[in-house]
Chain A
Amino acid sequence: MIDFIRAFSDPDNVFLRIAIYVATLSSISFGIIGTYVVTRRISYLAGAISHCVFGGIGAGLYVQKKIGMTWFEPMYGAILSAIIAAVIIGLVSLYAKQREDTVIGALWAIGMATGLIFIDLTPGYFDITSYLFGDILLLSIRDLWMVVFLDVLVAAVSLYFYHVLLAVCFDQEFAGLRGVRSGAFYILLLCLTSLTIVLLVRVVGIVMVIALLTLPAAVAGQFARRLWQMMLLAIMFCVLFTWTGLALSYSLKLSSGPTIIMIAGITYIVTISLSKLRKKIQFKSE
């Protein structure tokens, strides 16, 4: 731990400082969107979106390297594919009631396959592990600005539409009956989720996105009594998980993504076990 703090304060260690800044600032979006994903129960949809993001990254690399549009960063492809996936998945889950899970499962796999095929077609060698498992230490100043932009967007939308989104997450049908365009709000929520996922992919990678999106919110849900409390707690837990994960991975020379997820996962399991135990004791004493 001491060497982590020393490394953090070392002026030459720019990458570590950016990593900590990104982790802290992006926790705002992760906490807020994670709360919506957990309460609206769409973590499965979020998983599908994250795998479609890989398709966009592959396509982005192809466009940049093979077609020669050098300004087209893979990140642009990722954002584009995430938004498209969010809209398609949103429409599928709104209108294709019966086969929803099959369609979403198919999109999940197709997104992944598209990415791999584009990477095959693109000349040169790419290390895809940083996309799959994330590498927070590869982040740049530009990523930091992206995080700030996303934070402002997510916080503004969820503050302005707080009551409407609460109603849509709690009971979409009823909200619709009250004249709220609940389908549109649902898709808006999925679009914000997909942007957050693009960012998360940079931090923990495609495979573990769902974990960092849902675990802080799920832990927060054990203590929170209102939606905004759950958001604030989720943000705090997300900061806690990423900081300790980074510190631990630095000291033990482990990959940052999996370390963060391990800490989040263990905390989640411990908290739900403790709350189950507490309820049992309460029940017995009654």
Chain B
Amino acid sequence: MRNDIPQETPMNERIAELKNVSFAYNREPVLENVNLTIKKGEFASIVGPNGGGKSTLLKLLLGLLRPSSGELTVFGNTPEKVRHRIGYMPQHAQFDIQFPVTVMEVVLMGRLGHTRGVRYSKKDRHIADRSLEDVHIANLAKRSFSDLSGGQRQRVLIARALSCEPDLLLLDEPTANIDPEAEVVLFEILKTLNKRMTILFATHDIGFVSQTVKSVICVNRCVVVHPTSEITGEIIKDIYGGEICMIRHDHRCSEEGHEHD
């Protein structure tokens, strides 16, 4: 089938493609028959309940996990072969807070696959500096990673992913454990970055996100894609399996609040 596609097909238009992809942990199905196409320039949010398969989807795209069945290509290739083009920010809760490391050292880790050898070059440091500027924390470069707040740590991890100079940026729960102001700034940053790269991020928080992102990939064992304007209470109810109210961030109540009739 794949050979039928002429070579001159602009592969760069399709960043990732999943065809009937299923994945199971110890026979427990996590994702079933997922069909998904990520186009270049996409800014998509992967939403769904905990354990619904959001992180699994990201890990499949990274090649950290292999599909049990189905076909998955990233940049027209197997994920393992194109990892150098993917930047990844894992959930930050997994880090050892006391680890003795500076912000700069963490960001430089993103250069590891690009430098041949075991020392960082001047160019690596330059790219790391620029990545820190991209997320507005160049001033923190010399600080200890353990001294930072949750939101700052999050941005350091994004800078680390950016120093890979990725074409595709994957973020796992970038909004977890950060305060709302930091979240607003974070999405401004991502919006700017989206001009240069395709962005996919997993989140379980949906109300706010839907305003900045272009489309929403709903994951709960199966995958459904919606453009952001289409998100309704019904869709959320289907995905989360219960009555949930959507917070109207675009609407401001008076200070006393308002009453429902």
Q: Which A residues form the contact surface with B (CB < 8 A)?
A: 39, 41, 160-164, 166-167, 169-171, 173-180, 221, 224-227, 229-230
Contacts and interface: CB of A to CB of B under 8 A. Distances in A.
A185 B62 CA distance: 21
Contacts of B114: 178
B118 A160 contact: yes
A175 B100 contact: no
Residue among B62, B64, B96 facing the most chain A CB atoms (10 A cut-off): B96
Contacts of B52: none
A169 to B, nearest CB: 8
Nearest to A164: B118
B109 A221 contact: no
Given A39-B99, A174-B109, A226-B101, 12 more contacts: A39-B100, A41-B96, A163-B118, A163-B119, A164-B112, A164-B118, A166-B109, A167-B112, A170-B95, A221-B100, A226-B100, A226-B105
Contact of A179 (B84, B98, B118): B84
B164 interface: yes
Given A173-B90, A174-B160, A224 B100 contact: yes
Nearest to A233: B100
Interface residues of B, number: 29
Contact of B106 (A39, A164, A170, A179): A170
A202 B62 CA distance: 46
B149 to A, nearest CB: 14
29 contacts: A160-B118, A163-B108, A163-B112, A164-B118, A166-B101, A166-B105, A166-B109, A167-B109, A170-B96, A170-B101, A171-B90, A171-B95, A171-B109, A174-B160, A175-B109, A175-B112, A177-B86, A178-B109, A178-B110, A178-B112, A178-B164, A179-B84, A179-B113, A180-B113, A221-B98, A225-B100, A225-B102, A226-B101, A227-B101
B169 to A, nearest CB: 13
Contacts of B160: 174
Contacts of A164: 112, 118
A174 B90 contact: yes
Interface of B: 62, 64, 83-84, 86, 88, 90, 95-96, 98-102, 105-106, 108-114, 118-120, 144, 160, 164
Nearest to B86: A177
A179 B86 CA distance: 12
A177 B100 contact: no
A168 to B, nearest CB: 10
Contacts of A176: 64
Contacts of B96: 39, 41, 170
A218 to B, nearest CB: 10
A284 B118 CA distance: 44
Contacts of B95: 170-171
A174 B172 CA distance: 13
A226 B98 CA distance: 10
A65 B49 CA distance: 64
Which 10 pairs, one residue from A and one from B, show the smallest C-beta to C-beta distance? A179-B113, A178-B113, A178-B112, A167-B109, A225-B144, A224-B100, A230-B100, A226-B100, A227-B100, A180-B112
Contacts of B119: 163
Residue among B83, B99, B105, B108 facing the most chain A CB atoms (10 A cut-off): B99
Residue among B88, B101, B114 facing the most chain A CB atoms (10 A cut-off): B101
Contacts of A163: 105, 108-109, 112, 118-120
Contacts of B105: 163, 166, 226
Contacts of B90: 171, 173-174
B143 to A, nearest CB: 9
Nearest to B94: A171
A225 B100 CA distance: 5
B146 to A, nearest CB: 8
Nearest to A41: B96
Contacts of B112: 163-164, 167, 175, 178-180
A163 B112 CA distance: 8
A217 B102 CA distance: 18
Given A163-B120, A221-B98, A226-B101, A177 B64 contact: yes
A171 B101 CA distance: 12
Contact of A226 (B86, B102, B113): B102
A204 B108 CA distance: 39
Contacts of B109: 163, 166-167, 170-171, 174-175, 178
Contacts of A41: 96
